[in-house]
Amino acid sequence: MEPIVKVKDLKKYFGDTKAVDGISFEILKGEIFGLIGPDGAGKTTVLRILAGLLKITSGIVKISDFYLPQDIAKIKENIGYMPQKFSLYTDLTVKENITFFSEIFQIEKKVFDERIVPLMKMTRLYPFMDRLTGNLSGGMKQKLALISTLIHRPKILILDEPTTGIDPVSRREFWEILQSIVVDGVTVITSTPYMDEAEWCSKVGLIFKGHILQIDTPKNFKKKFPFDVFEIETDDKEKIIKKLNEIKEVIDIRILGKKIRVIIKNKDIKEIFDNKTEAKKVKPIIEDIFITKIKSVY
């Protein structure tokens, strides 16, 4: 299958700052491609370039059958872009905001009426059509922004950290909506600082300091992970951490609530401690993979 998005050796410099420094990736139609990394990694820069809002320094960007920057007008006809910052009008109602965007895209009233009801029901905003946007919760505002982006039926949906700052329930609902959208053939390109959201993506690119560390499916990331992960429950974290720091095979130590999470190479951690310390082997998560990638490169 021919990729719907191709990016090759993309670079974007702001003076001496290398925001994006030679990244490449491909996205197939109907995929959810997630750029995952911390603040300042280059996620927003990449998405703004794909949306035609930033000029590239060098590299090749192909979306559908068009290239940036020469085919920017055609590319904008095929994409929907939802920025990180909420940008709808808070003094308009939910329906008025959607209507405004439909008029920008010159959607006929008959077509608008056919599209708005399914979108409102899908996002469960139908009962709130006449509510002022400024009175919506954070999660509801993001759903409204999504509807406003989808109303013109884009082939590619570009979402910049759409779940940042909203509650866990709304985050899950938002991802469930995205899953239902790709079933209809829409391609989603999104970014997030939340490592756990990688599980919702078809394919993930781990990005850090303007470089993509690795691209793969969430399943393959965990399948190929070459280290072991243990969780230790103890009443004396300080003592255990001190002992772990003395072991050369230990790659990373993190405190998660009452537990210590340890990534270790070629060593059964259970052999290190006595029976009073409970160490349980667990499956790796995307955060484990991201941390080890950073430590191996930087």
Boundary residue ending a domain (222, 251, 283): 222
Instruction: Flag whether the pTM goes above 0.85.
Output: yes
Claim to verify: residue 30 and residue 126 sit in the same structural domain: yes
Same-domain status, 213 and 236: no
The domain boundary, picked from 222, 257, 277, lies at: 222
Dihedral angle sign, alpha carbons of residues 120, 125, 129, 135: negative
CATH number, domain with residue 256: 3.30.70
Sign of the dihedral through C-alpha 285, 290, 291, 295: positive
Residue 86, pLDDT score: 82
Residues 57 and 168 in one domain: yes
Tell me the residue range of the domain where 250 lies.
Answer: 226-297
Residue 15 shares a structural domain with residue 39: yes
Biggest alpha carbon distance in the chain? 72
Q: What's the total number of domains in the chain?
A: 2
Question: 58 to each of 24, 262, 277, how far by Cα in Å?
Answer: 12, 40, 54
Question: Which of 222, 238, 260 is the endpoint of a domain?
Answer: 222
Residue 30: give its domain's CATH number: 3.40.50.300
Encoded tokens for 118: 């399914």
Distance of alpha carbon 94 from alpha carbon 97, whole angstroms: 5
* Secondary structure (DSSP) of 105-171: TT--HHHHHHHHHHHHHHTT-GGGTTSBGGGS-HHHHHHHHHHHHHTT--SEEEEESTTTTS-HHHH
Give me the pLDDT at residue 276, please: 65
Q: Which residue has the tokens 């998005």?
A: 5
State the pLDDT at residue 156: 96
Backbone angles phi, psi at 10, to 5 degrees: -75, 130
Q: Is 212 exposed, middle or buried (0-12, 13-18, 19+ CB in 10 A)?
A: buried
Whether 108 and 178 map to the same domain: the answer is yes
Residues of the chain with pLDDT under 50: none
Task: Using the structure block, give the residue that is written with the tokens 């949906």.
Answer: 157
**Residue 226 CB-half CA count within 13 A:** 7
Tokens of 226: 């070459």
Q: Are residues 203 and 234 in the same domain?
A: no
Buried b / exposed e across 217-241, counting CB within 10 Å, b at 16+?
Answer: ebeebbeebebbbbbbebeeeeebb
CA distance 11 to 97: 35
Do 172 and 239 lie in one domain? The reply is: no
- Sheet hosting strand 228-233, strand order edge to edge: 250-256, 259-264, 228-233, 278-282
Same domain, 208 and 235: no
Claim to verify: residue 151 and residue 209 sit in the same structural domain: yes
Question: Same structural domain for residues 250 and 215?
Answer: no
Here the tokens at position 151 are 């109303």
**In terms of domains, do 236 and 128 share one?**
no
Q: Are residues 99 and 209 in the same domain?
A: yes
